[in-house]
Structure 1
Amino acid sequence: MSVAGLCEICESATVEDRCDRCARLVCADHYDRDSGLCTDCRAEYGDRPPTRRGSEDYPDGVDEYRF
């Protein structure tokens, strides 16, 4: 990815990539290439694999809410 600027997490290193979940521009130290997530998003997931972009984990198999 060709981006310029400072990492949005450490604010000191040069940007290397963008998180697939939150879209933050991050340096190589704060990006997990295997998951495509920044270290903050990866910490939220723990050992769970990330869901597809834009989807969330719904309780009890519910996949849609209507109001």
Structure 2
Amino acid sequence: MSVAGLCEICERPDVDHTCDRCGRLVCDRHWDRERGLCVECASEVGGPGDRVDPENLPDGVDTYRF
């Protein structure tokens, strides 16, 4: 999809995509084609290799340590 404006990450003028998650306008350099997300959202969401085993997740607020 071609859109008008600046990339909201690097401010380059050649914006070609809109992130499906956050709505940012981004250039090819900051677009994750496989996920349809900007690189920032893609890094937050993670991928198949980034999955955490549910057994290792905290089970409540009282398990967090600061």
Provide TM-score, normalisation by structure 1. Answer: 0.65
CA RMSD of aligned residues (A): 1.6
Where does residue 45 of structure 2 map in the other structure?
Answer: 45
Name the CA distance, whole Å, in 1 between partners of 2:13 and 2:3: 13
SS for the counterpart of 1:16 is strand
Name the CA distance, whole Å, in 1 between partners of 2:14 and 2:5: 6
Where does residue 63 of structure 2 map in the other structure?
Answer: none
Name the CA distance, whole Å, in 2 between partners of 1:30 and 1:13: 13
Provide TM-score, normalisation by structure 2. Answer: 0.66
More helix by share: 2
Where does residue 2 of structure 1 map in the other structure?
Answer: 2
Taking only the aligned residue pairs, the percentage that are identical comes to 61
More strand by share: 2
Runs of 4+ that moved beyond 4 A:
none
Name the CA distance, whole Å, in 2 between partners of 1:12 and 1:33: 18
Where does residue 27 of structure 1 map in the other structure?
Answer: 27
Q: Structure 2: where are the runs of 5+ without partners?
A: 49-58, 60-66
